[in-house]
Amino acid sequence: MITVEITTIMGIKALMGGNKDQSLTLSDGATVAEALDQLCKTYGLPLHERIFNDAQQLNPGIVVFVNGCVIFALDGLETPLQDGDAVLIFPPVGGG
Amino acid sequence: MFQGGYMGKVLRVNLTTKKVSVEDLPEKIARDYIGGAGFGVKYLFDEVPGDVDSLGPDNKLIFAPGPLSGTPAPCASRMAVTTKSPLTGAVGMSLSGGYFPVELKFAGYDVLIIEGQADTPVYLHIRDDKVAIKNAEKLWGMDTQITQSIIKQDVNDHNTRIACIGQAGENLSKMAAIINERRAFGRKGVGAVMGSKNLKAIAIRGSGQVPLANPKAFETARKFMLEAMKQSPVLYPEFSKLGTPMVVDATSAMGIFPSENYRNTGERDYSTTIGVEASISRNKGSEHCYGCPVGCTQLKLAQGRGYEGGMSDPEYETYYSLGSVVGVESVDSIIYNDMLCDKYGLDTMSVGVTIAFAMELFERGMLTAADTNGLDLRFGNHQAVTQLIEEIAFRREGIGALLCDGSRIMAEKVGGEAGDFAMHIKGLELPAYDPRGAKAHGLNFATSYTGADHNRGYAFQEVFGIPVPNAYDRFAVAGKGWLTKWNQDIRCATTDCPTMCGFLMDMAVPAIAEQNTADLVSSASGIALTKEDVGMVGERVNNLARVFNISAGFTRADDTFPKRIMAETIKEGGSSGQRISQEDLNLMLDEYYEARNWRQDGVPTRQKLAELDLPEAAAVLVARGLL
């Protein structure tokens, strides 16, 4: 088993019980998709609908970073996770 | 003769001779530079030598909206002011929104050039073709809000739109802004240039309309843009409800929200105290610029002892500059101090970062209470920030005079090792992103033609993870030279020149920004532009500005970072372990210059300047023995 650290902000945080940070235990070799699935099982349909579209791809504007690197620059939802990885999940954000 | 978009006229006002003249806008300039920052850089290059005294009569202020300003295109009420910056010595270009930009178009002009220096305080009053230089002695000493109010009474027209300076500009603070309504041409000391010319304000009322060359094609392009905005995952409802302050939560989680003069970025979580939840609790509504359906500006009313009644609209950058970088976690003090900066006409960003610099020197014992007029300048002292803003605006003896010209000059005045803690590039204080955790965003700070300026080449790929044109690892160095060139050119061509709000480009049309600009500008003006033409405009402006800066004395050595960014590693948070070594910087710069077809000393090649049809730039380099 591996444990990864999940961090979320704003609207996604609100759908995860207001928890900004939490640890998530996964099976060895788990991917980003599996981590998100597990979170959706815990927090229910509203979170699932916020993150995934009907094709089980990320909704537009949802961004996930693993150890600081956006998963689009890795293997997307199939990016494998290692024990201790930091996973950051963003709702659509812009401005600045 | 223009068919639309452009009014075809340049208004020139010489404050020394009091001469007012109107010239035709050459079609070649419109085609090659589009408008806004493009016009500003072109006229600056042609008319102001690089070595001119930025606060002398030979410097000029060039105000230019774009061909989309005043048309029904969404979010196009933007205007660039371009000058030689007294803060940096480089091109000083700053953009503002609101209602002032379109009014110049309605009055019949694409460009307003202010030159010379008045003997006594004046303001400029433009009513269509009636242009008057009026006495402003009674306004001198007044803040920006009272100034706007009194001028409206003076001209007996409350719909007159006004841009003015406050006391900071009068006192030639090199961090002075030009304020219109509550918006600002904020950065690079443009307000000091206005103050040096004894020009208190510009008041405009126009009665015309901006014609459209091809209304049917324009409407198609406009509808496409509006639909793209509706489809954006960010604009509605998040951005229209929350505005830029939501970025505090994002950059905090990424570990790039700078803290306490960058000495402990990532070690404190400011999102819990000055993040979006705290800031939205102070909301009193939103404001729109002319023609903007989004309305991202969030009006906030401060609460609590000492700050009650303070109302302003701080943006993300101000939560950093008057918040985290000075160690302040009071959202009420940020709102209040933002209001003070607007009132006195100061750039919140440079002011906050310069105060942070002073705080670090104070905590290190390099400044003492004797230097600070007795103020306790430890990080987190928000009352001291309030006091310092006044000291700076009025250039008061002691700490006010020490800080009022920004970090670079302050470092020179303090001497010794002080400069090691001054967070600026080319004299412009850093924006609210620690470059160690976003390398292309940082490389843009190092190479932007205006100094450390996030808006000249915003790396949304790194900050928001948007995979356009490709996805990038924000910590990586390789590929960031190419990406920075791409970001700078597209931003310039599709937002700074047409002129259009940069947020739309990032959030609505990032993948098709050049085509979108080509469609809107072509149909508005009748000048047929392809997306390739648009892309080349961005490259042309960046090259011409680079040559201006070379003529002002800048070299590759100035494309660098503050010492702390290169010597210290971020210790905690989402960017833990990151820094930018000298080797990293060299690799990124080499790649950037190669992508631009510049020599490795940062000078554009003859081939590149010929490709961009910039013989005037080549001639300047030849005259300096650089080509």
Same domain, B134 and B189: yes
Same domain, B397 and B459: no
Chain A residues whose beta carbon lies within 8 Å of the beta carbon of residue B467: 70, 72-73
Enumerate residues 6+ apart whose C-beta is below 8 A from B550.
B50, B602, B603, B620, B621, B624, B626
**Segment holding B153, helix H or strand E:** helix B144-154
Rounded CA separation B257/B141 (Å):
36
Same domain, B587 and B521: yes
Each residue of B2-36: pLDDT tens digit?
A: 999 999 999 999 999 999 999 999 999 999 999 99
Q: Which of B231, B276, B460 sits opposite A10 (nearest CB)?
A: B276
Q: How confident is the model at residue B238, as a pLDDT?
A: 87
Q: Which domain holds residue B28?
A: 9-205
Q: How confident is the model at residue B506, as a pLDDT?
A: 84
Label residue A2 by pLDDT band (50, 70, 90): very high
Q: How confident is the model at residue B305, as a pLDDT?
A: 87
Q: Tell me the sheet residues that pair with B61.
A: B114
* Interface predicted TM-score of the whole assembly (ipTM), two decimals: 0.98
CB–CB contact A70 B474 (8 Å): yes
Each residue of B88-103: pLDDT tens digit?
A: 999 999 999 999 999 9
* CB contact B276 to A (< 8 Å): yes
Rounded CA separation B537/B557 (Å):
26
Q: How confident is the model at residue B568, as a pLDDT?
A: 98
CB–CB contact A95 B249 (8 Å): no
Q: How confident is the model at residue B93, as a pLDDT?
A: 98
* Amino acid in position B487: N
Same domain, B471 and B422: no
Q: 3-state secondary structure string, B518-543?
A: HHHHHHHHCCCCCHHHHHHHHHHHHH
Same domain, B410 and B537: no
Same domain, B444 and B587: yes
Label residue A69 by pLDDT band (50, 70, 90): very high
Instruction: Kindly report the pTM of this predicted structure.
Output: 0.98
Q: How confident is the model at residue B504, as a pLDDT?
A: 85
CATH number of B545's domain: 1.10.599.10
Mutate which of B247, B249, B470 to disrupt the A interface (most A C-beta within 10 Å)? Answer: B249
Same domain, B448 and B411: no
Please name the residue of chain A whose CA is at the shortest distance from the CA of residue B578.
Answer: A68
Rounded CA separation A88/B261 (Å):
25
Q: Domains plus CATH for chain A?
A: 2-90 (3.10.20.30)
What is the overall mean pLDDT for chain A?
97
Same domain, B267 and B314: yes
Can you list the residues of chain B whose pLDDT is less than 50?
A: none
CA distances (Å), B45 to each of B9, B285, B618, B624, in order?
Answer: 19, 42, 12, 15
Q: How confident is the model at residue B135, as a pLDDT?
A: 98
CATH number of B259's domain: 1.10.569.10
Same domain, B459 and B601: yes
Query: Is B127 buried (19+), middle (13-18) or exposed (0-12) by CB count in 10 A?
Result: middle
Residues 38 through 77 of chain B touching chain A, CB cutoff 8 Å: none
Label residue A96 by pLDDT band (50, 70, 90): confident
Domain count within chain B: 3
